[in-house]
Structure 1
């Protein structure tokens, strides 16, 4: 009898262990399924956030030549790219959506390119040059293809930022290439709301201003010194023009370049790889207001680009402004200062 009871107790213990292990296994399997589903949903959402424009098809082959690949650019496709790259980055004052209007986009429809920068990545991608193009620069705006099959007219003495207004990203790229004779390998655009959300997702950004700022248009008032800004304040700083220096666009560009450096520092110190929730918030903020060319219109491509920049520090990023002089026809506008401007663009080819 005792032997039978012992065997029965042992069977019951084995049964309980089996059920417990099964429950643990089911819980683990369920957790993995939920994690995979969450990861899949996050990837789908971030990927779906991105808007793209097929600039290459719209512009065809009548463009500056691509930069000659460096010797290290012949690596297998699965390895990260290392060749030189030029990216036209625009900050647009889009009027679409209540959030953009509240942040200064205005009440009317449409948008303008409020900020224009050419980001040049050196071969190896461990150094970069960011060249700001003043939006008040007078240029010859080329004829640009429109979505309806028509073309815009060539315009002489047009402001650089008018290209985006009349022909969107395609015309912005074509005008930038016409001005610089540099091939824009990629196009990236972020609007008011996206920039503010990015700064907030990073936990703000710290900047040091050398003079007091009091700009009624951007609604920003800051004493000279170091400040930690939230997204709305950082956007106001990027838009400040009349409250600093001589009130020209060149003063605003200086503040924008200050912000670029500060954002790079913040991204480096944010610990994104060890904080998945924060990484997702940052990625959602970036992709939610992002327009790219079709070569960067997926989370996979954007991630690959980001990983290729892992050796790029804020100290290795040089910020400059295209050399300009007052326009002979209008003292409130500028034109490229030659030959200095041409020499700068030549260094990026």
Structure 2
């Protein structure tokens, strides 16, 4: 299974420095009161999917009073880039949100417990990054943010994504109507798939995360099969098609920085990448929300800080 990292690479290449989306300086904005880098050479990238209804995104509903992070994945790249772990953070996770620097100046008030995705509403990708650092004790090196329109461009630019649907999905809320079986989804269909909650499982965010992870696997397979990482002409066509679709932090604002990172990841193999979800349990005050499960969540974050999360797990003994 070749999973989410290559999809992240697609996003890394997706945005030329055209000024459409200003690149915030995460390090400058968050200052010195942050988790330290514990392992030289390891890298942590926060991948966000926002539900903004601004601009072309108005087709997906009314403005809900500011964008939220519909999807949040912490991508941990191990030292040497031979292993990787991708941790999905449920948007309904109740957290203590720290005070965040605001675009217009000043700092927001800390609050909690509140839903994780409110951090993006308060202070965009900067506050989302600060909240993840506060939650996990893991230093975020880079941030990538893609909205609905940008996501569709990613999928359409690679010619759609082939995926197998186990059961029919019908969800009027995400404008999704898919039959079961193997099919190729265009950008609009793919967006509906990763947004659906009411069409799968019990309607919780955990069910949607599982679907998102499956889709990221399929998207990564498309990128691999298209040989984008070793075909410069195809790669730059994709870059041009997706210019302006993704916002990155200042550290990844130049094509050279993204290409350097992409080349360092080109050797990752399917078995080198581990997709996980933050361990959670129902929130006692509201069964529709979740809270980090302890000690499992703390152990996961510690393994990322120590760069041991991506090491092969010991196989359990087989008993006859």
| Alignment TM class, shorter chain as reference | 0.7 to 0.9
Equivalent residue number for residue 84 of structure 1: 42
Cα offsets for 1:154-205 (capped at 9, x unmatched): 1111100000001111111110101111111111111111111111110111
Across the aligned residues of Structure 1 and Structure 2, the Cα RMSD in angstroms comes to 1.8
Give 1:107 shift: 4.2
Cα offsets for 1:115-161 (capped at 9, x unmatched): 00000111221221110000000000011111232211111111000
Give 1:60 shift: 0.7
Indicate conservation of the 8 Å contact 1:265/1:314, yes or no: no
Indicate conservation of the 8 Å contact 1:181/1:345, yes or no: yes
Give 1:265 shift: 0.8
Q: Which moved more, 1:206-215 or 1:58-67?
A: 206-215
1:336 aligns with 2:306: no
The verdict on how the C-alpha distance between 1:124 and 1:251 changes in structure 2, with shifts beyond 3 A counting, is same
Indicate conservation of the 8 Å contact 1:202/1:282, yes or no: yes
1:101 aligns with 2:36: no
Within-5 A mapping of 1:138-287: 138-272=94-228, 273-274=230-231, 276=233, 278-287=234-243
Give 1:211 shift: 2.4
Equivalent residue number for residue 29 of structure 2: 58
What is the aligned residue count? 290
- Structure 2 spans left out of the alignment, 5+ residues: 1-12, 306-320
The verdict on how the C-alpha distance between 1:108 and 1:137 changes in structure 2, with shifts beyond 3 A counting, is closer
Scaled by the length of structure 1, the TM-score of the pair is 0.79
Within-5 A mapping of 1:96-135: 96-98=54-56, 100-102=57-59, 104=60, 106-107=62-63, 110-135=66-91
Equivalent residue number for residue 46 of structure 1: 16
Equivalent residue number for residue 327 of structure 1: 283
The verdict on how the C-alpha distance between 1:197 and 1:59 changes in structure 2, with shifts beyond 3 A counting, is same
Give 1:67 shift: 2.9
Indicate conservation of the 8 Å contact 2:44/2:74, yes or no: yes
SS at match of 2:81: coil
Within-5 A mapping of 1:19-34: none
Give 1:240 shift: 0.8
Indicate conservation of the 8 Å contact 1:112/1:165, yes or no: yes
Equivalent residue number for residue 308 of structure 1: 264
The structure with the largest alpha-carbon Rg is 1
Indicate conservation of the 8 Å contact 1:88/1:118, yes or no: yes
Superposed structure 1 runs of 4+ greater than 4 Å apart:
none
Between structures 1 and 2, the one with greater helix share: 1
Indicate conservation of the 8 Å contact 2:86/2:276, yes or no: yes
Indicate conservation of the 8 Å contact 1:53/1:293, yes or no: yes
Scaled by the length of structure 2, the TM-score of the pair is 0.86
Where relative contact order (Cα < 8 A, 6+ residues apart) is larger, the structure is 2
User: Aligned partners of 2:53, 2:202: CA distance in 1, in Å?
Assistant: 28
- Structure 1 spans left out of the alignment, 5+ residues: 1-42, 70-82
User: Aligned partners of 2:92, 2:65: CA distance in 1, in Å?
Assistant: 21
The verdict on how the C-alpha distance between 1:279 and 1:109 changes in structure 2, with shifts beyond 3 A counting, is farther
The verdict on how the C-alpha distance between 1:156 and 1:263 changes in structure 2, with shifts beyond 3 A counting, is same
